[in-house]
């Protein structure tokens, strides 16, 4: 890898930028003028994009903005699932593949055309209606990465029932909290899914969760792993019994543009996850436009692989709604990158001729760690564009992605966005913008961002500040489910009148944007968003724990790793097994993704005179840095002792 490091250092030293080949530029979907056109009249730009959707009744105005509430295309009527499916089938594209599905077990594959998917969705919509689901009712989806997950989402959208997809890695407790918060009455799940070679226990988790969700009256269960499951008569229904006996046609109803499409839970700075609400037309406009321009999509030729989970927003926007609105062909892969060998991904790229690959830096770093031999032994020449999302990408990983995976021939789009933004906000435009290793470059056309100080003044180039969005955009969240106050306080109060994203950023001397990562108590672990408060909350719920402080520490592979500092109650004798017990406990309350990498049991936590835990100093400890200013501490000796403890425990490893 050292030759890459030298190459990168030389490039960064030169401030090197990359431009796509003249051939790429000549055929690119986006042109230079798009920025000027969109800047001159952003609403007109978005309205033109929205006209690319199929409307039952056209809209007359683009934006209504009463800060901080925006509506887009408000008087228009449409159906999301018609836009994803029916219109393509009606245009004669029924035989086009919507998904090449690849299960984790070798050889487990399905090929689903647009006509197939429309039939599945129609049947599922009929089944949900039979189960009593009506427009406006919320449906929870807790499924592995199988075609039924997409069908379930679109069936909900088709009948106007907002879905709440919950990542399969969440525990029963986390699932129950989300079902209760959104007041879901129906759950769609599977007997399990395959991950790391073993079937997961999705149905067991649903059963455990529903013990505290008495209002759920129906559970639809897809058979995937064939493992035995417990069954609640009258409540549980097999998908293959209820869905597959339905008619394959379904007459869709048109809904208002602002009809809720889905709720997606994400972590904020408090212990309670927020239900981020997205509505229909603005969201579809944003994700389809960005999918077409940022990925330079040629729907009749490309094979798009957004290697993310459907349980997160990247899956919603760029596996489901964006690609389907654009009539694209995607790969949907169920499992982990090294199932069946560390070259599994590259075999998939080769077999299906993937042209556009989109994934997170943490995965890129893992693939890089496994060595060049795995990608080098496969023909990856079908690839023509690579994307990155979810966390800042370090220049070394960026360059490896470019040279080893892209053969120095694919533009790389580093895309910054969030669950709340619905779609991509800051990104290079391939064929138009240059790219730099590690920079997200500039706002997408029609979107306006800035880097500001506490007062909301733009900071000079080269200085860091807060990343804000200046005006509403179509995919913007319409609020936090059931908590309008929190919506205003979280996003619109830090810098009045502007959307505050929670990230730090800077502009370089060329004015190009570099996103520096979260500046609040939100951690980013392997591209998963977790709040320090949420993990602390889980730790103090353990009977032995008195206090807990959690920080995200820089980690070479996962971006950040969770480090917890814990004090135990006075009468507790610390057993050797306590750390493992605490990790398992957090896994049970939230999910395996939230298990701390390191837990340090300490007699005390560093506090200010007013009793606040000094996380800044704990971050210094966790990252093995010299301790910052300790003068405001009640007792500086405490943090010095913790630092010593950390050093001796790391040297034991
Ligand atoms: O900190 C930013 C980081 O991920 C956060 C959003 O997480 P989530 O809502 O889970 O959505 C992830 C997928 C869109 C942001 O606040 N982030 C996302 N993309 C980038 C990024 N940080 C740096 N560069 C990016 N390209």
- Asked, for residue 502, whether it belongs to a domain, the answer is no
Does ligand 1 lie within 6 Å of residue 256's CB atom? no
Q: Which two tokens stand for residue 52?
A: 């690319």
101-150, pLDDT tens digit by residue? 999 999 999 999 999 999 999 999 999 999 999 999 999 999 999 999 99
Ligand 1 centroid to Cα of residue 501, in Å, is: 10
Ligand 1 centroid to Cα of residue 314, in Å, is: 10
CB atoms within 10 A of CB 324: 27
- Asked, for residue 81, whether it belongs to a domain, the answer is yes
Structural domain of 614:
523-652
Query: What's the structural domain count of the chain?
Result: 2
Looking at the CA of residue 517, tell me the nearest atom of ligand 1.
1
Phi, psi of 547 (to 5 degrees): -140, 155
- Asked, for residue 171, whether it belongs to a domain, the answer is yes
Do 204 and 308 reside in the same domain of the chain?
yes
Task: Report, as an integer, the average pLDDT of 498-512.
Answer: 93
Show which of 436, 464, 488 is a domain's final residue: 488
d(CA 253, CA 402): 45
What local confidence, expressed as pLDDT, does residue 270 receive? 82
535-587, pLDDT tens digit by residue? 999 999 999 999 999 999 999 999 999 999 999 999 999 999 999 999 999 99
Ligand 1 centroid to Cα of residue 567, in Å, is: 32
pLDDT tier, 609 (very low <50, low <70, confident <90, very high otherwise): confident
Does ligand 1 lie within 6 Å of residue 265's CB atom? no
Q: Which two tokens stand for residue 299?
A: 């729907």
Does ligand 1 lie within 6 Å of residue 391's CB atom? yes
Residue nearest to atom 18 of ligand 1 (CA): 390
- Asked, for residue 299, whether it belongs to a domain, the answer is yes
What local confidence, expressed as pLDDT, does residue 51 receive? 98
Show which of 437, 463, 488 is a domain's final residue: 488
pLDDT above 90: residue 341? yes
Please report, rounded to a whole number, the percentage of residues in the chain having pLDDT higher than 70: 97
138-169, pLDDT tens digit by residue? 999 999 999 999 999 999 999 999 999 999 99
Does ligand 1 lie within 6 Å of residue 517's CB atom? yes
Q: Which two tokens stand for residue 307?
A: 């290697």
Q: Residue 628 maps to which CATH number?
A: 3.30.300.30
Do 447 and 582 reside in the same domain of the chain?
no
* DSSP-H helix ranges across 220-357: 239-242, 281-294, 313-315, 322-325, 344-352
d(CA 163, CA 187): 10
Does ligand 1 lie within 6 Å of residue 501's CB atom? yes
- Asked, for residue 532, whether it belongs to a domain, the answer is yes
Does ligand 1 lie within 6 Å of residue 313's CB atom? yes
Residue nearest to atom 24 of ligand 1 (CA): 392
Do 459 and 604 reside in the same domain of the chain?
no
What local confidence, expressed as pLDDT, does residue 597 receive? 96
Does ligand 1 lie within 6 Å of residue 259's CB atom? no
Residue nearest to atom 10 of ligand 1 (CA): 529
Ligand 1 centroid to Cα of residue 503, in Å, is: 9
What local confidence, expressed as pLDDT, does residue 650 receive? 75
d(CA 147, CA 262): 18
d(CA 532, CA 564): 9
- Asked, for residue 495, whether it belongs to a domain, the answer is no
Please, what is the average pLDDT of the chain? 94
Q: How many residues does the chain have?
A: 653
Q: Residue 131 maps to which CATH number?
A: 3.40.50.12780
64-102, pLDDT tens digit by residue? 999 999 999 999 999 999 999 999 999 999 999 999 999
What local confidence, expressed as pLDDT, does residue 369 receive? 94
Task: Report, as an integer, the average pLDDT of 467-474.
Answer: 97
Residue nearest to atom 22 of ligand 1 (CA): 391
34-59, pLDDT tens digit by residue? 999 999 999 999 999 999 999 999 99
Full-model pTM: 0.94
Do 557 and 478 reside in the same domain of the chain?
no
Cα separations (Å) of 521 from 245, 388, 619? 49, 23, 11
pLDDT tier, 170 (very low <50, low <70, confident <90, very high otherwise): very high
Ligand 1 centroid to Cα of residue 308, in Å, is: 13
Give one DSSP letter per residue of 551-586, joined into a string. Answer: EEEEETTTEEEEEEEEEE-TT----TTHHHHHHHHH
Do 386 and 329 reside in the same domain of the chain?
yes
Show which of 428, 461, 488 is a domain's final residue: 488
d(CA 9, CA 28): 30
Q: Which is nearest to 102 in space by CA: 303, 239, 245, 238?
A: 303
Residue nearest to atom 5 of ligand 1 (CA): 418
| Helix or strand run (H / E) with residue 636 | helix 636-652
- Asked, for residue 507, whether it belongs to a domain, the answer is no
Dihedral angle computed from the Cα positions of residues 104, 108, 111 and 116, in that order, rounded to the nearest 10 degrees: -100
Ligand 1 centroid to Cα of residue 51, in Å, is: 29
- Asked, for residue 633, whether it belongs to a domain, the answer is yes
Do 85 and 146 reside in the same domain of the chain?
yes
Q: Which is nearest to 440 in space by CA: 417, 423, 418?
A: 417
Do 21 and 88 reside in the same domain of the chain?
yes
Do 313 and 451 reside in the same domain of the chain?
yes
pLDDT above 90: residue 527? no
Do 552 and 484 reside in the same domain of the chain?
no
Do 118 and 216 reside in the same domain of the chain?
yes
Ligand 1 centroid to Cα of residue 515, in Å, is: 9
The beta strands (E) that lie in 212-341 are given as 218-222, 236-238, 255-256, 260-266, 274-279, 303-306, 329-333
User: Pairing relation of β-strands 274-279 and 260-266?
Assistant: antiparallel
The number of CA neighbours under 13 Å toward the Cβ of 253 is 15
Does ligand 1 lie within 6 Å of residue 274's CB atom? no
Tokens 């800077």 belong to residue:
506
Contact 25, 433 (CB under 8 A): no
What local confidence, expressed as pLDDT, does residue 565 receive? 96
Q: Which is nearest to 436 in space by CA: 21, 12, 20?
A: 12
Do 556 and 463 reside in the same domain of the chain?
no
Cα separations (Å) of 152 from 187, 223, 514, 620, 638? 10, 14, 37, 45, 53
Does ligand 1 lie within 6 Å of residue 392's CB atom? yes
* DSSP-H helix ranges across 477-577: 484-491, 532-540
283-337, pLDDT tens digit by residue? 999 999 999 999 999 999 999 999 999 999 999 999 999 999 999 999 999 999 9
Ligand 1 centroid to Cα of residue 265, in Å, is: 15
Give one DSSP letter per residue of 34-85, joined into a string. Answer: HHHHHHH-HHHHHHHHHTTS--SB--S-SEEEETTEEEESTT-EE-HHIIII
Do 457 and 563 reside in the same domain of the chain?
no
């Amino acid at each position: 890898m050292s030759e890459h490091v030298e190459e990168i250092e030389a490039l960064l030293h030169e401030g090197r930028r990359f431009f796509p080949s003249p051939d790429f530029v000549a055929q690119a979907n986006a042109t230079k003028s798009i920025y000027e056109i969109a800047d001159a009249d952003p609403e007109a730009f978005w309205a033109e994009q929205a006209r690319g959707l199929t409307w039952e009744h056209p809209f007359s105005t683009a934006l209504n903005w009463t800060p901080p509430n925006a509506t887009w295309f408000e008087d228009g009527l449409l159906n999301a699932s018609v836009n994803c499916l029916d219109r393509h089938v009606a245009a004669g594209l029924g035989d086009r593949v919507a998904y090449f599905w690849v299960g984790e077990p070798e050889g487990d594959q399905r090929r689903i055309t647009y006509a197939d998917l429309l039939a599945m969705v129609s049947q599922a919509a009929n089944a949900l209606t039979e189960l009593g689901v009506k427009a406006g009712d919320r449906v929870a989806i807790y499924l592995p990465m199988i075609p039924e997950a997409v069908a379930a989402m679109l069936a909900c959208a088709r009948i106007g029932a907002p879905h709440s997809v919950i990542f399969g890695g969440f525990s029963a407790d986390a699932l129950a909290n989300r079902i209760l918060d959104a007041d879901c009455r129906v759950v769609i799940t599977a007997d399990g899914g395959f991950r790391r070679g073993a079937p997961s226990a999705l149905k067991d988790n649903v059963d455990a969760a529903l013990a505290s969700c008495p209002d759920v009256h129906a559970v639809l269960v897809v058979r995937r792993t064939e493992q035995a499951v417990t069954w609640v008569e009258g409540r549980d229904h097999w998908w293959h019994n209820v869905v597959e006996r339905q008619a394959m046609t379904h007459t869709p109803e048109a809904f208002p543009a602002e009809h809720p499409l889905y709720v997606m839970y994400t972590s904020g700075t408090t212990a309670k996850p927020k239900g981020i609400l997205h509505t229909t037309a603005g969201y579809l406009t944003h994700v389809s436009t960005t999918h077409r321009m940022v990925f330079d999509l040629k729907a009749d030729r490309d094979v798009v692989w957004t290697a993310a989970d459907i349980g997160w927003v990247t899956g919603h926007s760029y596996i489901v709604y964006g690609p389907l609105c654009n009539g694209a062909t995607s790969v949907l892969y169920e499992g982990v990158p090294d199932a069946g060998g560390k070259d599994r991904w590259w075999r998939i790229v080769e077999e299906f001729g993937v042209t556009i690959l989109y994934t997170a830096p943490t995965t890129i770093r893992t693939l890089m760690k496994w060595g060049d031999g795995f990608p080098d032994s496969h023909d990856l020449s079908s690839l023509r564009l690579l994307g990155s999302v979810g966390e800042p990408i370090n220049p070394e990983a960026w360059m490896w992605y470019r040279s080893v995976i892209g053969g120095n021939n694919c533009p790389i789009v580093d895309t910054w966005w969030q669950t709340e933004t619905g779609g991509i906000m800051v990104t290079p435009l391939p064929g138009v913008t240059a790219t730099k290793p590690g920079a997200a470059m500039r706002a997408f056309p029609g979107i306006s961002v800035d880097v500001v100080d506490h007062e909301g003044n733009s900071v000079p180039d080269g200085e860091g500040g807060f990343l804000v969005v200046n005006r509403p955009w179509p995919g913007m969240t319409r609020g936090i489910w059931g908590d309008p106050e929190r919506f205003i306080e979280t996003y619109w109060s830090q810098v009045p009148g502007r959307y505050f994203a929670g990230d730090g950023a800077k502009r370089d001397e060329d004015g190009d944007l570099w996103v520096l990562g979260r500046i609040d108590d939100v951690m980013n672990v392997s591209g998963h968003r977790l709040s320090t408060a949420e993990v602390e909350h889980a730790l103090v719920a353990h009977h032995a724990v008195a206090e807990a402080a959690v920080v995200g520490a820089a980690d070479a592979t996962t971006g950040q790793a969770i480090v917890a500092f814990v004090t135990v109650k006075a009468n507790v004798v610390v057993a050797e097994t306590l750390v493992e017990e605490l990790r398992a406990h957090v896994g049970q309350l939230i999910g395996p993704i939230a298990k701390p990498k390191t837990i340090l049991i300490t007699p005390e936590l560093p506090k200010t005179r007013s009793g606040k835990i000094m996380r800044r100093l704990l971050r210094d400890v966790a990252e093995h840095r010299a301790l910052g200013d300790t003068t405001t501490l009640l007792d500086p000796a405490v943090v010095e002792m913790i630092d010593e403890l950390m050093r001796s425990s790391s040297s034991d490893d």
